[in-house]
């Protein structure tokens, strides 16, 4: 005959079922990338590389929740299972428990090693530079605005009255080269799911392929000084014909060549009224 479950065992099983259901719910939520909840409130990716970064975000949270529920379950189990004193008084206290000490030392080490491997793998993939990207853009972050140098021999730069605009052709891989003449900035387009620091004296580079036509907000993600909050720009992802027409328009406005520092002396409205570069 089978033994009748004790109230203590029943409570422990209920706690285990609740924890398992919670972990399953989190896992199922991470399976769908079509909803904000499914993305765990990450922005919707608009680049070919975006799903890789989104997957890393989701899996990291799922792993964290699994560890959290396991830890909370063990805490609750200990509280309930040992809430009463035994006939002899308080439960026996032990100084050492080698199996437990090995468990809580080795298990976190394994988890950290696994996270390191996954992080290194994804980072290597997302920062990989190809021999011949379709386009190249030089990004100049300066106090306190942005300038963009196009390989076709044109540039654009933001002013106090008009934030900078970066135009990119859709479905073409673009290499970004980041430079700064003054302090550290950070080039960030939230829907690209990627950002990189813009460091004086260093040329940081990365490549992305925007795969959705649209207009996306960009900003500086590094506290860089007085007008940091005004370092905004717009990314316009368009078809190739529209992109070529925009480059031609920049040249017709006198914005040919490239910015060396981004510090253009202007009247606050147009970046092309003098063409003089301020040192």
Cis peptide before 144 (omega within 30 of 0): yes
Residue 11: per-residue pLDDT = 54
From CA 159, how far away is CA 189, in angstroms rounded? 19
Query: In order of start, what are the domains of the chain with their CATH numbers?
Result: 7-83+95-126 (no CATH), 135-252 (2.60.40.420)
What does the chain come to in residues?
279
Token pair 């080039």 is at which residue? Answer: 187
Each residue's pLDDT expressed in tens, for the chain with a length of 279 residues: 444 555 555 555 555 555 555 555 555 444 555 677 777 777 888 898 988 888 888 888 888 898 899 889 988 988 887 776 666 666 677 777 888 888 888 988 998 998 899 999 999 988 999 999 999 999 999 988 999 999 999 999 988 788 899 999 999 999 999 999 989 999 999 999 999 999 998 899 999 999 999 999 999 999 998 889 989 999 999 999 999 999 999 999 888 888 766 544 444 434 433 333 333
At residue 206, φ and ψ (nearest 5 deg) are -155, 165
From CA 164, how far away is CA 236, in angstroms rounded? 11
Q: Where are the alpha helices (DSSP H) in the chain?
A: 7-29, 50-81, 98-126, 240-252
Residue 248: per-residue pLDDT = 94
pLDDT tens, 252-271?
Answer: 988 888 876 654 444 443 44
- Enumerate residues 6+ apart whose C-beta is below 8 A from 6: none
Residue 2: per-residue pLDDT = 47
The number of angstroms, rounded, from the C-alpha of 130 to the middle of its chain's C-alpha atoms is 21
Residue 277: per-residue pLDDT = 34
């Amino acid at each position: 005959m089978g033994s009748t479950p004790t109230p203590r065992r029943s409570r422990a099983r209920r706690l285990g079922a609740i924890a398992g259901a919670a972990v399953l719910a989190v896992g199922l939520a991470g399976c769908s990338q079509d909803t904000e909840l499914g993305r765990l409130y990450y922005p919707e990716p608009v680049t070919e590389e975006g799903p890789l970064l989104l997957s890393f975000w989701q899996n990291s949270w799922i792993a964290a929740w699994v560890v959290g529920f396991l830890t909370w379950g063990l805490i609750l189990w200990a509280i309930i299972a040992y809430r009463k004193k035994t006939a002899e008084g308080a439960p026996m206290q032990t100084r050492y428990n080698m199996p437990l000490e090995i468990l809580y030392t080795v298990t976190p080490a394994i988890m950290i090693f696994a996270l390191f491997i996954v992080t290194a793998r994804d980072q290597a993939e997302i920062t990989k530079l190809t021999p011949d990207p379709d386009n190249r853009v030089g990004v100049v972050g300066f106090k306190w605005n942005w300038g963009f140098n196009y390989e076709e021999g044109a540039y654009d730069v933001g002013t106090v009255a008009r934030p900078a605009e970066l135009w990119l052709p859709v479905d073409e891989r673009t290499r970004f080269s980041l430079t700064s003449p003054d302090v550290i900035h950070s080039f960030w387009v939230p829907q690209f799911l990627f950002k990189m620091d813009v460091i004086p004296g260093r040329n940081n580079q990365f490549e992305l392929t925007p795969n959705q036509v649209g207009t996306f907000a960009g900003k500086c993600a590094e506290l860089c000084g007085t007008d940091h909050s005004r370092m905004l720009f717009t990314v316009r992802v368009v078809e190739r014909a529209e992109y070529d027409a925009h480059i031609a328009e920049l040249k017709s406005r006198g914005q040919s060549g490239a910015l060396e520092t981004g510090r253009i002396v202007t009247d606050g409205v147009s970046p092309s009224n003098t063409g003089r570069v301020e040192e």
